[in-house]
Amino acid sequence: MESRKVYIGGYSIISALGSTGSTISALEEGRSGLRKEHNSDVCARVDDSQFIATQHRSRFDKLLSSCMHNLLDECKLPAGTRFILASTKGAVDLIAGSNFPPEAFLCSSAERICRDYNLAPEPLIISNACISGLSALITAKRMIECGQCSHIVVAGCDILSDFVLEGFKSLQSVSSSNCRPYDIERNGLNLGEACAAIFLTCSSGAAIKPLISIEGGAISNDAYHISSPSRTGDGLAQAIDDAIEDAGIDKDEIDLINAHGTATIFNDEMESRAFALAGLSQKPTNSLKPYFGHTLGASGILETAICVHSLQNDIILATPGFSLQGTSRKLNIVTENISRKLQCCLKTASGFGGCNAAIVLCKESRHMKTSKVNHEIHTAAECTMVHEGPDFKEFIKKEYQKLGETNLKFHQMSALCQAAYVAAGKLLSTDVLEGIDSKDTAIVLANSTSTMETDMEHQLNIESGETNRISPAVFVYTLPNIAIGQLCIKYGIKGDNSFFLREKNDNFAEDYSRMLIEQGYAKAVICGWCNKAGEELNVNLKLLKRKTE
């Protein structure tokens, strides 16, 4: 039986370069949206004139709603179209010290979009650091392929804020000039804000012409470090290999690589090693970050939309600022626009928590994949941990001591990570993962409050006005998928990893994990609910495994 195709039905962009047409024109002309601001930071900010009239008070919601409005001008969405929102931090502009208003939660933003634009209720929200956008596209692809739904809008949105900018500054990864991916003179990234939305459909009649499909997709983890990329590139190389295998094509068929290309020293070096491991170093490669900055969770969807344009129009866009190779593995960085017949494009991304993602886009593809086998599943282990009261630190300390470990880093983790770490330790207290390859093991977690407590701690540090209080050790824990990254490091897990935000514990993480096993994307999945908010802790984890003969 053939698997359903996942076509691009249309897309919409709002970036520092303008709306869809303006952004694409600027890219083709080599114009950048990066500007030096009054505080001397080089950023890419969206002009407020791009926003439609709306009652929403957060900049995040205004940007997201305006992009969705533009998409509906381009596409007629069928009834029942679902919605997936990808974001690294959402409406952080609403957080003030210890005040975290309800509108700041990503679930609230996604539900407003569903109501305002008549999309199916119960949206999905993915917060997977800088691979959030590609993670959302891969999730949507899988849901359509297996018949869970037929039409999905995937939107990625993030805004410029002191919250994010000061956090990246504390990591010493922000450049004071325009970023130069892969160049020997590169010295850091520029942050940008943007929103992009892509309509995905199983109907070729509702798709753009020429037909562009998402043929393959994969997510992996380095299992190396929560804020530094692998020194070998093996995690990203694994995602690339798996995505190409999922697409059912040969590597020779890849005509273009749109890489993450943040222009930080270690990320660019890691990517060069990953492309070498994957045997793709000679493929024409570009980074789009010098045009509109690193737009965090929006970047995967924004840059995928540009890749769709490249395939449609047979053009490979240049990478501004690149002059002399600055990575140990040579790459074929495109420095001038190239007109060439294109068939397949590889898009990659990497992020904090050791996560990596890759998708393969193909034009007028003739590759037809067979549906994956529905593997049977059993629950191998389960752990529930509930606590309410002001003495969480003492509670989690005692629970950790029961594991009999001496990991000094445990005491530096956020409360959310500590909870996930201890629960997983109990879940895997026996050799339940024995015989399962690290890349065949996945982790899927969900909660409703993301990293609310750590977000407020980081915001208070910023508002103190004391630069030395803004700690990278706090900032990195404002990403919920860091809890997954910690588990991947501890257990050497290198497979699929996703963090979903849900309004309540509705077992979505488990349902999605079962789909991963049924469709052959994993053989074992650690999954479940992990929520720490105020005095309340609620954790329920399961280990699902494929049944063997």
**Token couple for 131:** 């691979």
Provide the pairing of β-strand 284-286 with 344-351.
unpaired
Residues 259 and 181 in one domain: yes
Residues 337 and 468 in one domain: no
Q: 217 and 246 in contact (C-beta within 8 Å)?
A: yes
CATH code of the domain containing 177: 3.40.47.10
Name residue 286's beta-bridge partners: 258
Residues 30 and 64 in one domain: yes
Per-residue DSSP letter, 523? S
Residues 235 and 300 in one domain: yes
Q: 258 and 295 in contact (C-beta within 8 Å)?
A: no
Around Cβ 67, how many Cβ atoms within 10 Å? 31
Residues 271 and 389 in one domain: no
Domain extent, residue 413, equals: 377-546
- Residue ranges of alpha helices (H) inside 298-391 are 299-313
Task: Decide which of 340, 363, 386 is a domain's last residue.
Answer: 363
Total domains present in the chain: 2
Query: Is residue 99 situated within a structural domain?
Result: yes
Residues 349 and 390 in one domain: no
CA 262 to chain centre: 14
Those residues whose C-beta lies under 8 Å from the C-beta of residue 16, and which sit 6 or more positions away, are 33, 34, 35, 44, 45, 46, 47, 192, 193, 194, 292, 293
Query: Is residue 372 situated within a structural domain?
Result: no
Smallest CA-to-CA distance from 442 within 212, 238, 160 is with 238
Residues 205 and 306 in one domain: yes
Q: What stretch of H or E contains 499? A: strand 497-501
Q: What are phi and psi of 427, to 5 degrees?
A: -60, -40
Query: Is residue 125 situated within a structural domain?
Result: yes
Those residues whose C-beta lies under 8 Å from the C-beta of residue 4, and which sit 6 or more positions away, are 144, 145, 147, 202
Residues 355 and 395 in one domain: no
Task: Decide which of 339, 363, 387 is a domain's last residue.
Answer: 363
pLDDT in tens, the chain (549 residues): 567 899 999 999 999 999 999 999 999 999 999 999 878 899 999 999 999 988 887 999 999 999 999 999 999 999 999 999 999 999 999 999 888 999 999 999 999 999 999 999 999 999 999 999 999 999 999 999 999 999 999 999 999 999 999 999 999 999 999 999 999 999 999 999 999 999 999 999 999 999 999 999 999 999 999 999 999 999 999 999 999 999 999 999 999 999 999 999 999 999 999 999 999 999 999 999 999 999 999 999 999 999 999 999 999 999 999 999 999 999 999 999 999 999 999 999 999 999 999 999 999 876 666 666 678 899 999 999 999 988 999 999 999 999 999 888 999 999 999 999 999 999 998 888 888 999 999 999 999 999 999 999 999 999 998 888 999 999 999 999 999 999 999 999 999 999 999 999 999 999 999 999 999 999 999 999 999 998 999 999 999 999 875
Residues 26 and 120 in one domain: yes
